[in-house]
Structure 1
Amino acid sequence: MHNVWIVFLLAALATALAQDTVSSSNPCSAFKTCGDCITGNPSCAWCTQDGFEGQGSRCDTLNNLKSKECSDEFITNPSTKFMVDKADPLSSGSVGVQDEAVQVYPQEVTLTVRPHKPYTMTMEYRQAMDYPVDLYYLMDLSNSMEDDKSQLAALGDILAAKMQSITKNFRLGFGSFVDKTVMPYVSTVPAKLNAPCDGCAAPYSFKHHLDLTTNTKLFSAKVTETPVSGNLDSPEGGMDALMQAIVCEDAIGWRKVARHLVIFSTDASFHYAGDGKLGGIVKPNDGVCHMRNNEYTMATELDYPSISQLIRVVKEKSINLIFAVTENTFGVYDELSALIHGSTAGVLANDSSNIVDLVQENYDKIRSEVLLSDNATEGITVKYHSSCLGNEVEETNKCMGMKVGDTVTFNVTITVDSCPENGEQTLVIKPVNINEELRIRLRVECECDCESSGVLDSPRCNGTGTYECGICDCPPGFKGRQCECDAKQYTGDASEDSCKLNPNDTSAQTCFGRGECVCGVCECYEREKPGERVWGEVCQCDNFSCGNYKLAICGGTGRGECDCGKCVCKPEYKGDRCQCPSSEQSCMADNGLICAGHGKCDCGRCLCDADSLYRGPLCEDCPTCAGQCEDNRDCVQCVMWGTGIYDTKELCDANCANKTIIPEDEVYEDAEAGVRKCQFKDTDGCTFYFTYEYNKTIDTQPESDVVIIRAQKTKHCPPPVPLAAIIAGVVGGIVAVGLALLIIWKLLTMIHDRREFAKFEKERQNAKWDTGENPIYKQATSTFKNPTYWYNSNSIKLPKH
């Protein structure tokens, strides 16, 4: 019994602590200035009304301030403001009108928010038809690529026609590369520097041959007239060329609003940052355009660019890369494309004959995907949600499988976690590798307007402080709401001793952690939950930390009230939580005795004697008797299966409404826990099971629900008679017996025949024949004896006939 009460007390204490944690001090009351109030919590507002101090904290929730009669004109509660500045509708492009295509909506907005208050806006993206495409073909023109060059020249018109079938707003450009013109990349022998091979041009790092143009005939001509060159080592200087082709926007002719596509074609791997040291080049690549007369001029002075540099410029310049490489180098460029978003790699035929199909296939991969990125800095969180082309919304900034004309909507949630230094910044959200974006002018409310119009040395602040937003901002040396306290008198730990219940306890919090010590006096915080309050000299009292009974403090207003952490019960109830009735009437048994004389009444419930066999709500029931099984049998039948004497719903409801029957998959008996198992046969001949036990829980169940019945959902039924199996068995048995008799008869006859044959064989083998005489021959003479005459030695021989 004592253990039970200990558990109850611990549960009550845990409930009280949990409630105190959840309903802690008003989160707004801790903020003492208007600026801190509006930036500390988005649910807080500030009241600037004169004389409001007596109503509580000026920083509170909007509803609380209004309930304390703070006029709307004096409430500072900045709201979120959203304004669309530019919203050109989504549209497709047209030839010659490069700015007409719009794939991102809207384009510019202004958003004013408070810290920690999320705001969600929508952003749309649609693949425009005939969107401008600038395709720059960057080709390795070392000697090994000569057959590829001639094939590309022949396929130039086909490539242009294929791209124009995708978009009519298409331009094509051409450039080539070999390697740095120093040892060990190329031979520096003067003759080799002029012509490294027969019919070859002098080696170079990168040359731009054709600006982006719609004249495909000019493309084929440029490719045809450009000679190949040669170098020594296998890796080429393609990364130098790629960097210049991307960053030299004016020289190449990249349009601002267009999809920028670079086809990088080679049959060899590439040099990267650090390889320049082999040629004595140690200065890192600067990622800047160095073109003069359409040729890269710093190849012998700057190292090759690093992979990270390429990733950066590809993202900044919105470039889509297609690595069209031969099979022997595909693995290297496939890994490289995995690092650069918006790039793919494909296997190029030995003579580049599949370049058209390769470009179309990889371009379709690139444009079928949209990935949003942003420039959010620390302190700003941006989250994206979209259903893409499906139905279920999920957190994602990426959609795949898009086709021309498909539109996807993103819900963009922006949360500012801290105030920026200048209070405003520009947030850019854009699809990766596309030169369109959403620009958000983000303004953060970090100050109140009233803070900039304060009255210096105001009489309301004893002539020493600044009166702003309804409060005094005290200068150094003064404290208090009206700067009335000399700070020298309230410095150090001694100034807070008067705000502690026990000044000698150094670990104790001032004002119990539920108030502020102002000039040696505790000012208790207000509670966020209505009806809760804190009071006392050091805020030690409250009306919410008492124990709970039936999910209510002190059992609710009908049982008692919480006063300074203790329950004050009404006369009808008692206990530390007012959980017990004062009288013992509920323990009176039918025999007129408390608990039938087999126990004692505790908190309105009978506690049966441990050494007694009697149990039940009033210690009247003998658990070894069948009474409860029989008493509950009919109700279990009707509730679970609609059978028994209460087989109709009306009878069942009328006779079993006061019984709680819980269906279970299976029930078990537990004698030690007081769980008794019962079993009966139902009208269908099946056996059903149920258990009953007495409810010992005081707090969570009503007093009338004292017996818990758990019925097993399934009944145990005898298996049905298998008539078909029996008939089949009988017939089968007869047939089997007949076959067995036939088999036995056959076996016996076979055994008999075998024995007779064996006997015959034995006799035949034992017979001795005269091989010189016919065994069936019989002589013509006969010999006989006359019994009248006794001639033993004579015989009469008849003549032969």
Structure 2
Amino acid sequence: MKVPTWGRLIFICCSIYCVNSLCFGKRCGECLITQQCSWCKDRNFTRTRCATNGTLSADGCINIVHRKDHAVTLIKNSGFSDGGQGQDSVQIKPQHVSIKLVPNLFLYKTNFSVSYKIAKDFPLDLYFLNDPSPTMKTLQSSLKSLAKDIESGIKNLTDDYRFGLGTSMDKAVRPFSRTSAEFLDDPCFNTTDSVCEKVYSFRHRLNLTDDIEAFEKAIDDVQVTANYDKPVGMFDGLIQTMVCGEHIGWREKSRRMLVYATDMAFHHGGDGWLAGLLEPNDGNCHLDSEGFYTKANLQDYPSVGQIIQKAKENNINIIFVIGGNSSLSVRNLYYDTLATLMPGHTLQASALSIDARNILDIVSDNYKRLRETVKLVVNGHGEDLTIKLYTACETDGRVNEQTNICSRLTTEKVAKFFPVIMSNFTTCPEKRNVTFTIFPEGLEERVQVDIEHVCDCDCQLQPEAEPNSDKCSYNGTYECGICNCNPGWVGDVCECDNRGTIEETCGTSKGICNNAGNCTCRRCECFEGYSGDKCECNDKNCRSYDRLLCGGPDRGRCDCGKCVCNANYMGKACECLKSTAPCQNSNGTVCSGNGECVCGRCQCRSGFRGELCDKCFSCPGLCNNNKDCAECFAFGTGIYNSSVCKQLCTNVRTTDEFHVAAPENQETNSSSTFKSCITEDEHKCIINFNVYDRENGLEVKVNKRKRCPPGPPDPLTIGLGISGAIFIVGILLLVLWKILTMVYDNLEYSRFESEIKNPAWEKSENPIYNDCVQTVHNPMCDLGFKVEDMDDQLIGATSERI
């Protein structure tokens, strides 16, 4: 059925509308994350900036920004190298890649590939970790006898190799080892075996070296030892050989192989609790100067997870070699499964023959298996990126298959892997830079991949972008035709301060904007007559001059209650002219050199007057120049006669109301300024006169009364005065004495009269009369009788009388 034209138009319009509806974003980078969207960076563009290219063109946009593509840059891409003769081997390339990744867009495998090629002389570090129990003595003998054969076999594969040796038994604590006195120094005591070495957990015996004779000697020095239970504690030695790289001698760039040889099962994490070893194994190196493990009797055994983790971290390829009569059962129960979990999982646990002479084949076969198979591992990309590896491994018939393993490699064939990198972001992530590595498992060689999520358009970056641009009110970056405002600012040109609340930005104790304005864009817009950040300034509070605020616009303006004067004016009300022209005299001197020009007027120093300070009333000579006129005009005396006086002294007047000038020798009243002067005539009489400053010149006013000194004193008058004064004083003293005498006599007479009239005077005794006094003497007392005897005699006499 044929679709009508109007139907096709409706379908096209609906399609365009649906695509445009998916285009969104306030900035160019946000817009272009969505596929098929573009951005208009014209400055004055008023339509929707994020839309399809066709819509923007139809709306008249000239400068359209389109979505970018991924960009891959090879930073380091050294060629393959077989190594040898002091050269580094290179098996993987490129070594460093930078990718600019656009979110929400696949990165196809054709853009990026990783190549791997076996180097003929790639370094090999081979370390033997042996069980030194009596049942493994055969391995020790075979290793010593086959050392040179092993060297020859390895030499066919690479010329750069090294051998190392260590032995591991068990912890020297019960129940893992006998600790009684007879077994402590000789674990083989009372057995058919020869004398054993003292039991130990692990001992590193030989650093990695290419000296095969040193390797043989180290094997020959190993003595057997024994533990008590059946499992061995070789996990202690295994983890020490992996983490003690400085002691062992692991090279940074080599294939690291570790041969783990035993005929018993292993102790693992948790078994140490049987001996009270509750401290977990910390996975760190603890070897002393003689190579012994020092934490064996303090920490628990390592767990299987720790062994796997340390093997991956240190790129150790472990070959489990199991010997003894029960090797098959031990291998099947314990080591086959463990081998599959290790790096280079293609390795399997190998059975050691009875004479242990197949050790050469075990080492050679496992090295070939490791070398001929590569497994690429991606590490550190996180969950936000999805990375898939496709391979073109022609050696095993796989082309464009999703796998990270390629086998049956040779030194002539190159295996290629194609990473497909997908970003799971539909918006721009916060962490835009990610670094991950791609490396062959078990090797130290790395491909470092730096991912940068490209979320910004070029016009968002300098030099096109303009930080703190004037186009954005200095509060944002002008980019791609718009303003990207700094934090706290909004608006098309970042004109609005959006920091804090209205109360925080515009509020005061008196209200929003002091109730004198409105808060817009977190900024106060003041009413007329008010100013300041929060309208706190009342512009009508400024001082006025000539009835105008700040003297009017010609002189200044009011700013927050204070006048801001124009260039030619100053003062609190802009009332003062800065120019000194009104203060200059005809020769250009300011205030005649006798004052300062302030506000266009002269302020004279003390003693000077006049608009230009050109008059002086305190200067010497003013009084002397006018004293002769004052004397002749007022009193007709002096050096001028009457005719000369009338001719020269026309400005002199006399007055009865004479005023003396202030202490500063000047006085200003409503009519004049004057200076007081004093002079003497030939008779030493003092004449007072004032010199006045009139508009038409000087005027002299003389006091009509002059003060003359008295004549010489008269001796007769002085003598009579003194004599009269002495006579008067004598008369006054006599009168005073007479008055006092009369007063005293009157008082005495009054007292006499009062005593005579007193009736008690007659009854009183004569004050000069004394009564008679009788004295009685007892004549007996004079004869010397005692009073007691006398009393007795008196009593006796009395009784006789009775």
TM-score by length of 1: 0.54
Summarize the Cα distance change of 1:127–1:19 in structure 2 as closer, same or farther, 3 Å threshold: farther
Query: CA-to-partner distance for each residue in 1:103-145, whole Å, 9 max, x for gaps?
Result: 0011112222222223330110011112111100111112221
2:391 aligns with: 386
1:147 aligns with: 138
1:34 aligns with: 28
Q: Please tell me whether the aligned partners of residues 38 and 50 of structure 2 are also in contact (alpha carbons under 8 angstroms).
A: yes
The alignment partner of 2:178 has SS state of: coil
The 5-angstrom pairing of residues 74-473 of structure 1 reads 75=65, 77-95=67-85, 97=86, 100-119=88-107, 120-197=111-188, 198-293=194-289, 294-325=291-322, 326-331=327-332, 332-342=334-344, 343-375=347-379, 376-389=381-394, 390=397, 392-418=399-425, 419=428, 421-448=430-457, 450-451=459-460, 453=465, 468-472=479-483
For 1:477 and 1:249, the matched residues in 2 are separated by 55
Query: CA-to-partner distance for each residue in 1:333-370, whole Å, 9 max, x for gaps?
Result: 00101111314311111332211111112222222211
Amino acid at match of 1:346: S
Deviation at 1:264, TM superposition (A): 0.5
Deviation at 1:380, TM superposition (A): 1.6
The alignment partner of 1:428 has SS state of: strand
Q: Percent same amino acid among aligned pairs?
A: 34
Deviation at 1:228, TM superposition (A): 1.0
The alignment partner of 1:166 has SS state of: coil
For 1:154 and 1:365, the matched residues in 2 are separated by 25
Summarize the Cα distance change of 1:17–1:481 in structure 2 as closer, same or farther, 3 Å threshold: farther
1:556 aligns with: none
Amino acid at match of 1:367: R
The alignment partner of 1:212 has SS state of: strand
Summarize the Cα distance change of 1:65–1:261 in structure 2 as closer, same or farther, 3 Å threshold: farther
Deviation at 1:32, TM superposition (A): 2.4
Q: Please tell me whether the aligned partners of residues 271 and 304 of structure 1 are also in contact (alpha carbons under 8 angstroms).
A: yes
The 5-angstrom pairing of residues 556-567 of structure 1 reads none
Amino acid at match of 1:470: G
Amino acid at match of 1:80: H
For 2:412 and 2:43, the matched residues in 1 are separated by 60
Query: CA-to-partner distance for each residue in 1:137-158, whole Å, 9 max, x for gaps?
Result: 1111122212221122111111
Q: Please tell me whether the aligned partners of residues 136 and 262 of structure 1 are also in contact (alpha carbons under 8 angstroms).
A: yes
Amino acid at match of 1:109: V
The alignment partner of 2:348 has SS state of: strand
Amino acid at match of 2:414: T
For 1:23 and 1:391, the matched residues in 2 are separated by 46
Query: CA-to-partner distance for each residue in 1:243-300, whole Å, 9 max, x for gaps?
Result: 1111111111111111000011000011111111111111111111111121111111
For 2:183 and 2:155, the matched residues in 1 are separated by 42
Deviation at 1:78, TM superposition (A): 4.1
For 1:269 and 1:475, the matched residues in 2 are separated by 67
1:722 aligns with: none
Deviation at 1:486, TM superposition (A): 13
For 1:18 and 1:43, the matched residues in 2 are separated by 15
Query: CA-to-partner distance for each residue in 1:525-547, whole Å, 9 max, x for gaps?
Result: xxxxxxxxxxxxxxxxxxxxxxx
For 2:353 and 2:16, the matched residues in 1 are separated by 69
1:704 aligns with: none
Query: CA-to-partner distance for each residue in 1:33-68, whole Å, 9 max, x for gaps?
Result: 223224x325444322123333xx322455665666
For 1:47 and 1:110, the matched residues in 2 are separated by 29
1:568 aligns with: none
For 2:163 and 2:49, the matched residues in 1 are separated by 67
The alignment partner of 1:436 has SS state of: coil
Q: Please tell me whether the aligned partners of residues 28 and 61 of structure 1 are also in contact (alpha carbons under 8 angstroms).
A: no
Q: Please tell me whether the aligned partners of residues 128 and 405 of structure 1 are also in contact (alpha carbons under 8 angstroms).
A: no
Using the TM superposition, name which of 229-238 and 42-51 deviates more. 42-51
Summarize the Cα distance change of 1:475–1:204 in structure 2 as closer, same or farther, 3 Å threshold: closer
Deviation at 1:176, TM superposition (A): 0.7
Q: Please tell me whether the aligned partners of residues 179 and 204 of structure 1 are also in contact (alpha carbons under 8 angstroms).
A: yes
Query: CA-to-partner distance for each residue in 1:184-241, whole Å, 9 max, x for gaps?
Result: 1111113312110132101111111111111112212211221011001111111111
Summarize the Cα distance change of 1:279–1:64 in structure 2 as closer, same or farther, 3 Å threshold: farther
For 1:152 and 1:246, the matched residues in 2 are separated by 22
For 1:240 and 1:213, the matched residues in 2 are separated by 23
The 5-angstrom pairing of residues 573-652 of structure 1 reads none
Q: Please tell me whether the aligned partners of residues 112 and 442 of structure 1 are also in contact (alpha carbons under 8 angstroms).
A: yes
For 1:486 and 1:157, the matched residues in 2 are separated by 83
Q: Please tell me whether the aligned partners of residues 34 and 46 of structure 1 are also in contact (alpha carbons under 8 angstroms).
A: yes
For 1:464 and 1:145, the matched residues in 2 are separated by 80
Summarize the Cα distance change of 1:286–1:455 in structure 2 as closer, same or farther, 3 Å threshold: closer
The 5-angstrom pairing of residues 45-64 of structure 1 reads 45-54=38-47, 57-61=48-52
